[in-house]
């Protein structure tokens, strides 16, 4: 590849609609951008799909493998028993410098392990984190009423310094995708007051409050998460995962509950009918398709986890977001911020 | 009090609408039941409200105090500096056996401490827990499509045995208020598989799976919480608090988001307008008014935390629920279940 090229490695075999929708999404990305894509997976099936899908063939390279990891695979076992799985080979290409970014819609746990195995972490980063984009009420009255929540499951529990690093990584990614210089950062907690949530969260609060590079607005409670007071919400993987999935299932549940509880009320039924198409769109907003998926932050390359249910459009966006993040030097910016924090006085307070 | 009497102590001064709505709610409870109530608070203000509110005066006793704890008070300090606060005196009456149950809509943290100070825990109970009732999609097709989530904030982090005890206490309370013999119990986790969520949750899963007295259906993820697959959902206080508040804020947010994102679409607007009264009712369903508040489980007396925003109806229901739980011997049943678990073989596995 030449110095101006952007190359993204894509796992063609991961996700509920792989390989058809993955390959179709990549094909569309080549029509909409100059990004080159290495499609990793079953060559026969990929060729078959490309044959009937418009694309720019000079922007697509295929790396063949017949192995793949499914959602049913136990991540740890899959990674050790399937070293040639499409997801693993794609990560390897990225680690070897043959691609600048990585996209997969496959098994999340295995994807985190595959990336960790082949792509070095940014120097100083203790734990990588998965971030998700979610819709908010836009309390800040911005054009882009979405916020970033991390970690949503790369880790279970986290330490003080991990959480501070999540804040640094999250604000840089949010700044890039939202195009705002000083994203607001909040800590997900069981109360607004600084003494809430136990020792770990109290110390994270203290450090973030003092860090000049983070626009920290304090603790945020569950009922404020969707208000959009913060551009970036920091939490442990275990809690973030539950919070994210609660939000995912919510639009659907509200509709069901409404029908059940108020089916005797004509006005409610009328509302539900009028809303049904809207609710579908609202649900679409809560998945990743518009925002290109959830970044795994902390690696030296851009790593994007597309939603398991991703269709072509989501994959196209994931490839474009990965390319943009590479061009905008997001990983380098994170590295610089982490290095600054490492040498910073606050580190002494962590102990 | 005679042996057949039920007496509930009520903190007249706690909550956003105290004392007016609290006293009005108690007045109504005396009209709807034979329950006696000890109202603890400012006698002049209570008398003033009773004067203009229909009630049965032989069912109401007033214990005067001019001290009270507000929502702004820091719980620990308030409890030590205001020993005669209405909430504290009410808990004391309960602890001394002058009342069978306790109701307050005041400062949650202080209420937990006040109860802990004056009401003994059930023998063997390691940690008390706050449970909340929330609406579900009713996947189990029951008349009562509500579920119980605990702990939502009496504790921050919990151990293996604490969580198992939450399951035992929660299923007994759910069984009583829902009137079903074998409520389903689930563990809130970041994945359905038994190996998910870290060591503590894995061990809780193993024990609950083996406990014959618990109808354990396994792990539940965030997106299934509102589906109603489980009657009782077990989690740590920190996580439960965030989950509960996420649900609380959701109805409101969906409405706002809908208006914002789709204001250009007439059909959506029509839907929002038709729904607006329904959404108000839906929000009402998510608060405690119909279910008499959130029980603090693990004490030897019935302790009910009414929502801070409680109006008279919620207080009436809280008094009635407390009286019913007393008559149904919920605390004794919990004590028996906890004792059985203590002497049970599974205890060895906890270590």
Highest mean pLDDT among A37-46, A129-138, B145-154, B262-271: A37-46
Nearest to A223 among B191, B221, B248 (CB): B248
Mind telling me how many Å the CA of A238 is from chain B's nearest CA?
Answer: 6
Give the pLDDT confidence score for residue B227 in this predicted structure.
82
All residues of chain B having their beta carbon less than 8 Å from the beta carbon of residue A188 are: 242
Nearest to B278 among A242, A262, A273 (CB): A262
Nearest to B270 among A246, A248, A274 (CB): A274
Mind telling me how many Å the CA of B228 is from chain A's nearest CA?
Answer: 10
| Average pLDDT over all residues of chain B | 86
What percentage of chain B reaches a pLDDT higher than 70?
Answer: 81
Give the pLDDT confidence score for residue A301 in this predicted structure.
97
All residues of chain A having their beta carbon less than 8 Å from the beta carbon of residue B246 are: 222-223, 225-226, 243, 246-247
Per residue in B95-135, pLDDT (tens digit) is: 999 999 999 999 988 999 999 999 999 999 999 999 988 87
Give the pLDDT confidence score for residue A280 in this predicted structure.
47
State the average pLDDT over residues A216-230: 90
Q: CB B238 to CB A153 under 8 A?
A: no
- Give yes or no for residue B203 having a pLDDT over 90: yes
Mutate to test the interface with A, among B78, B190, B194, B260 (most CBs of A within 10 A): B190
- Give yes or no for residue B163 having a pLDDT over 70: yes
Helix axes A312-327, A20-32, angle to 10 degrees: 50
Mind telling me how many Å the CA of B177 is from chain A's nearest CA?
Answer: 19
Q: Which residues pair with B215 in a beta bridge?
A: B184
State the average pLDDT over residues B216-226: 92
All residues of chain A having their beta carbon less than 8 Å from the beta carbon of residue B241 are: 190-191, 221-222
State the average pLDDT over residues B3-7: 83
Per residue in B281-314, pLDDT (tens digit) is: 444 444 445 666 889 999 999 999 998 888 999 9
Minimal CA–CA distance to A115: which of A294, A309, A310?
A294
Mutate to test the interface with A, among B187, B228, B278, B285 (most CBs of A within 10 A): B278
Nearest to A275 among B191, B260, B271 (CB): B271
Strand order of the sheet with strand B146-150? Answer: B60-64, B36-41, B7-11, B101-104, B302-305, B294-297, B129-135, B146-150, B232-234, B184-188, B215-220
Q: CB B261 to CB A226 under 8 A?
A: no
Rounded to whole angstroms, how far apart are CA atoms A233 and A266?
Answer: 40
Residue A124: other Cβ atoms inside 10 A: 17
pLDDT category of residue B253 using cuts at 50, 70 and 90 = low
> Searching chain A, which residue's CA lies closest to the CA of residue B219?
A242
Ordered structural domains, chain A, with CATH: 1-122+298-328 (3.40.718.10), 126-293 (3.40.718.10)
Per residue in A27-71, pLDDT (tens digit) is: 999 999 999 999 999 999 999 999 999 999 999 999 999 999 998
Give the pLDDT confidence score for residue A277 in this predicted structure.
44
Mutate to test the interface with A, among B275, B285, B286, B309 (most CBs of A within 10 A): B275
Mutate to test the interface with A, among B229, B237, B257, B309 (most CBs of A within 10 A): B257
Mind telling me how many Å the CA of B343 is from chain A's nearest CA?
Answer: 32
- Give yes or no for residue A179 having a pLDDT over 70: yes
Per residue in A152-178, pLDDT (tens digit) is: 989 999 999 999 999 999 999 999 887
pLDDT category of residue A254 using cuts at 50, 70 and 90 = low
What percentage of chain A reaches a pLDDT higher than 90?
Answer: 67
Rounded to whole angstroms, how far apart are CA atoms A272 and B271?
Answer: 7
State the average pLDDT over residues A16-31: 97
What's the pTM? 0.84
Instruction: Return the higher-pLDDT residue of A76 and A141.
Output: A76
Rounded to whole angstroms, how far apart are CA atoms A257 and A239?
Answer: 25
Rounded to whole angstroms, how far apart are CA atoms A203 and A206?
Answer: 5
What percentage of chain A reaches a pLDDT higher than 70?
Answer: 81
Give the pLDDT confidence score for residue B143 in this predicted structure.
58
Strand order of the sheet with strand A294-297? Answer: A60-64, A36-41, A7-11, A101-104, A302-305, A294-297, A129-135, A146-150, A232-234, A184-188, A215-220
pLDDT category of residue B180 using cuts at 50, 70 and 90 = confident
Q: CB A278 to CB B285 under 8 A?
A: no
Minimal CA–CA distance to A189: which of A199, A201, A203, A200?
A201
Give the pLDDT confidence score for residue B247 in this predicted structure.
82
List, in sequence order, the alpha helices (H) in chain B.
Answer: 20-32, 43-51, 75-81, 86-95, 108-118, 160-178, 199-210, 237-261, 266-286, 312-327, 330-342, 346-350
Q: CB A227 to CB B253 under 8 A?
A: yes
> Searching chain B, which residue's CA lies closest to the CA of residue A196?
B156
> Searching chain A, which residue's CA lies closest to the CA of residue B272?
A271
State the average pLDDT over residues A12-31: 97
Inter-chain CB pairs, A–B, below 8 Å? 185
| Average pLDDT over all residues of chain A | 86
Mind telling me how many Å the CA of A4 is from chain B's nearest CA?
Answer: 37
């Amino acid at each position: 590849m030449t110095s101006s090229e952007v190359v993204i490695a894509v796992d063609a075999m991961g996700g509920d609609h792989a390989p058809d929708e993955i390959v179709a999404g990549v094909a569309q990305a080549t029509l909409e951008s100059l990004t080159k894509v290495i499609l990793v997976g079953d060559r026969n099936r990929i060729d078959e799909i490309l044959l009937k899908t418009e694309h720019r063939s000079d922007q697509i390279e295929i790396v063949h493998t017949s192995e793949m990891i499914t959602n049913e695979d136990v991540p740890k076992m899959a990674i050790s028993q399937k070293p040639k799985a499409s997801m693993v080979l794609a990560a390897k290409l990225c680690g070897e410098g043959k691609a600048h970014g990585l996209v997969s819609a496959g098994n999340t746990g295995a994807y985190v392990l595959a990336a960790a195995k082949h792509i070095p972490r940014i120097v100083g980063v203790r734990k990588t984190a998965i971030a998700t984009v979610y819709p908010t009420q836009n309390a800040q009255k911005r054009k882009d009423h979405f916020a970033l929540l991390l970690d949503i499951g790369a880790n279970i529990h986290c330490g003080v310094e991990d959480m501070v690093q999540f804040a640094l990584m999250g604000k840089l990614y949010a700044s890039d995708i939202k195009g705002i210089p000083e994203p607001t950062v909040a800590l997900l907690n069981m109360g607004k007051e600084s003494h809430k949530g136990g020792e770990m969260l109290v110390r994270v609060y203290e450090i973030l409050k003092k860090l000049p590079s983070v626009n920290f607005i304090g603790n945020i409670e569950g009922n404020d998460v969707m208000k959009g007071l913060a551009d970036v919400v920091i939490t442990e993987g275990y809690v973030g995962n539950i919070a994210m999935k609660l939000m995912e299932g919510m639009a659907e549940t509200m509709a069901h509950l409404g029908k059940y509880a108020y089916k005797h009320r004509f006005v409610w039924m009328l509302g539900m009918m009028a809303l049904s198409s809207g609710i579908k769109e609202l649900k679409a907003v809560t998945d990743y398709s518009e925002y290109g998926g959830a970044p795994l932050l902390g690696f030296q390359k851009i790593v994007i986890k597309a939603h398991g249910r991703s269709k072509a459009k989501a994959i196209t966006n994931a490839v474009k977001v990965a390319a943009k993040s590479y061009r905008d030097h997001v990983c380098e910016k994170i590295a610089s911020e982490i290095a600054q924090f490492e040498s910073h006085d606050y580190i002494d307070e962590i102990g």
